[in-house]
Amino acid sequence: MDRSPNRRRRLLLAEAVRAPQAPRLVEPAKSTFEAFLLSGRKDSKVPLAGWTMTKFQWFLVVAMVGLVVGPRVAEKVQRYQTPAVVSPVAVPSATLQAKVGPITVKLNGHTQAQELGQFYLAYADTLSRDRTLVTNTQIFRTLNERVVTLRFNELLNPKVPGLAADIDGVLVSELGVEVIAFEPLRPKAVAALQAIGWACLQAKQ
């Protein structure tokens, strides 16, 4: 009998071919994102590029990347998209024009003047439709200070000295400094915010 290694390998191969094999169910490969969504365990591990982290850790990473990168991407998209049609801005009264004139002067040459103007116009529109949140003048002053500080802190302080004081001066002249019910003053507040927005839009780029 031929006991050579080659013969033994041929016999083993023939037996393997003749032996019945159970069919294997091949599960479609899931992407990392699908695995993340389909997993029901809070502590399940999701591998990516050699790293293995829990779902909660991945959530933190994605959230941090979104907070850092998201605004920059949105800014670039807005820069290259087709400009939206803006409704005509109502011209303030002559009295209000005189009060907001210094705002225009200070914003001349500043690239964010248009953005600031649109912000105040949207702010005025929102305030005109509110009936339950802003109920007295103190709430309005606090709201105005916080939202403007959060949105335009860099513009209003280091780049344009005195601009915040000019804007506050317009609001004080129209609404006073007392803490009183806001509803009777709402039309004046809306008109003042619209005038501030109009003044920002008049600034030369």
For 90-105, how does the pLDDT look when each residue is reduced to its tens digit (9 = 90+)?
899 999 999 999 999 9
Q: Do 57 and 16 belong to one domain? A: yes
Residue span of the structural domain in which 121 resides: 94-201
Question: For 13-47, how does the pLDDT look when each residue is reduced to its tens digit (9 = 90+)?
Answer: 666 556 555 555 545 555 554 554 455 444 455 55
Residues 105 and 173 in one domain: yes
| Distance separating alpha carbons of residues 172 and 195, to the nearest angstrom | 14
Q: Are residues 2 and 23 in the same domain?
A: yes
Work out how many domains the chain is built from and give that number: 2
Shared-domain flag, residues 66 and 121: no
Claim to verify: residue 68 and residue 114 sit in the same structural domain:
no
Assess whether 103 and 74 both reside in one domain.
no
What is the rounded end-to-end Cα distance, in angstroms, of the chain? 99
Choose the final residue of a domain: 25, 53, 81: 81
Q: Look at 126 and 57; give whichever has higher pLDDT.
A: 126
Q: Are residues 74 and 103 in the same domain?
A: no
Q: Rounded to an integer, what distance in angstroms lies between the CA atom of residue 202 and that of residue 113?
A: 9
CA–CA distance, 93 with 100 (Å, rounded to integer): 11
pLDDT at residue 164, as a whole number: 87
User: Within this chain, do residues 76 and 112 fall inside the same structural domain, yes or no?
Assistant: no
- 89, part of any domain: no
Give the pLDDT confidence of 41-89 residue by residue, as tens digits. Answer: 444 555 554 555 565 555 555 656 565 555 555 555 454 444 444 456 8
Q: Is residue 143 part of a domain?
A: yes
Percentages helix, strand, coil for the chain (3-state, rounded to 5) are 65, 5, 30
Instruction: Give the per-residue pLDDT at 133.
Output: 92
Per the document, the length of the chain is 205
Q: Is the pTM of this model over 0.85?
A: no
- Cβ neighbors of 99 (< 8 A, separation 6 or more) are 169, 170, 173, 174, 195
Residues 108 and 193 in one domain: yes
Return d(Cα 165, Cα 169) in angstroms, integer. 6
3-state secondary structure of 52: strand
